[in-house]
Amino acid sequence: MAARKAVRPRSVAALSVVQVDDPQTARAIDQVGAAVQKLQSTRDRAALTVDLVVGTNKVRHGLGRDVLGYTITPTVASAAFATAIDTTNPRPSLEVWITVIGIDQPGARVEVY
């Protein structure tokens, strides 16, 4: 039997529909519901395990929007290790291009947000 990958539980905002007579209150509830739906429709972060090599690495993130930034947890300790985001990427909503300088990082943990 194949095991599924463990997924950390996350809190999800939910709103139950309430019937009110006041039109201003009803409008406010609708606005809050729309905001909750918008938050639930896009992912905030994606955590990936990637084998980074020296040079440009194309990392697919699946956020559905442009990446604002990233963090990397290296697997090999080296003072010569450095990274930079490559902004010449023509498809930033699909993948992020990370340029690695110094040393390869096999199995590095990359979190994009």
Reported as a single tens digit per residue, the pLDDT across 49-85 is: 999 999 999 999 888 888 888 999 999 988 889 999 9
pLDDT at 67: 87
User: Which CB contacts under 8 angstroms, 24+ apart, belong to 88-92?
Assistant: 92/66, 92/67
- Joined together, the tokens standing for residue 77 give 């300790």
pLDDT at 13: 60
Q: What average pLDDT score do residues 92-100 get?
A: 92
> Is the predicted pLDDT of residue 43 greater than 90, yes or no?
no
Counted residue by residue, the chain has a size of 113
> Is the predicted pLDDT of residue 2 greater than 90, yes or no?
no
- Joined together, the tokens standing for residue 95 give 């993948």
pTM of the model: 0.61
> Is the predicted pLDDT of residue 48 greater than 80, yes or no?
yes
Strand partners, 50: 108
pLDDT at 1: 55
- Joined together, the tokens standing for residue 110 give 């990359």
